[in-house]
Amino acid sequence: MSDAAKSGDVAEQGTVYLVGSGPGDPELLTVKATRLLDEADVVLHDKLPGPEILELIPAEKREDVGKRAGGERTPQSEINARLVELAREGKSVVRLKGGDSFVFGRGGEEAEYLAKHGIPFEYVPGITSAIAGPGVAGIPVTHRDHASSVSFVTGHEDPTKPESTVDWEALAATGGTIVVLMGVGKLPEYTQALRDAGMDPETPVALVERATWSDMRVATGTLDSIVSVRDEEAIEPPAITVIGDVAGTREAVLEFLR
């Protein structure tokens, strides 16, 4: 192939934009995300950006790569391959993720795969639910008087299993805020792990369900009570768990929180 033909090929190749949608309120999309959604030929997404944002995207541009008909997740390898395929067709592709693509969004894996296959991509930051979720419930993840560090962890793993990679004991020892994503199902296991690590059972805990969506809910308790609160309120994913003294500061601002 001649050099001209080669460079011609490169010019025709589309770009993949790894775009974070923010937590769900369309007004929290970045200006850049809004423009790219408008300009894109195809938008690959799952359900996490939330109904209000997904409704803004014309149906003919949308490709749902979340759960498949049988209810199981589309394998990441299939999503990766589809991104490359579309880019090679010269399409402008938005890979839209809830929150920020690089916070438990598998954006890192997609970036690596694209780079390996010679596909140009751009990372477009989004507002992560890990910070905005607690915030819209009136909980700052750090606070001069209460927490000088914050840890973002996955609650997806079972802390009692040896292959668990989250060190709950070390997290308890930080004395800072712990924000758990994907942490509704395993709430009993990791709250127990934190108590076993010596954390005060009266430590405030909040669950923020569907943060910034029109049907958002907040439920609060302590390390000891939060599992029964979750069950009574029937809290479901997506929800953020905030553990630490900052969760207790909510009461003081609630009356004036809009």
Which positions touch ligand SAH (CB under 6 A)? Answer: 23-24, 48, 97-100, 103-105, 128-130, 133, 181-182, 208, 210-213, 237-240
Instruction: Clarify whether 46 is annotated catalytic.
Output: yes
Q: Which residue is nearest to ligand SAH (CB)?
A: 99
Query: Whose Cβ is closer to ligand SAH: residue 14's or residue 243's?
Result: 243
Using DSSP's 3-state secondary structure scheme, residue 77 falls into helix
- Judge contact between 121 and 45, C-beta under 8 A: no
Shortest spacing between CB 44 and ligand SAH, in angstroms: 15
Shortest spacing between CB 171 and ligand SAH, in angstroms: 16
Query: Whose Cβ is closer to ligand SAH: residue 86's or residue 208's?
Result: 208
Instruction: Clarify whether 1 is annotated catalytic.
Output: no
Please tell me which residue in 32, 182, 224, 245 is annotated as part of the active site.
Answer: 182
Using DSSP's 3-state secondary structure scheme, residue 120 falls into coil
Instruction: Clarify whether 32 is annotated catalytic.
Output: no
Q: How far is CA 21 from CA 64, 115, 122, in A?
A: 15, 22, 14
The token duo for 151 is: 């840890």
- Cβ within 8 Å of residue 207, ≥6 positions away: 184, 218, 219, 220, 226, 229, 230, 233, 235, 239, 240, 241, 242
DSSP string, 7-42: HHHHHH---EEEEE-BSS-GGGS-HHHHHHHHH-SE
Shortest spacing between CB 107 and ligand SAH, in angstroms: 8
Shortest spacing between CB 34 and ligand SAH, in angstroms: 18
Please tell me which residue in 46, 158, 224, 245 is annotated as part of the active site.
Answer: 46
Please name every residue paired with 239 in a beta bridge, in sequence order, or none if there are none: 209
Q: How far is CA 33 from CA 26, 85, 120, 194, in A?
A: 10, 22, 17, 38
* Catalytic (active-site) positions: 46, 67, 182
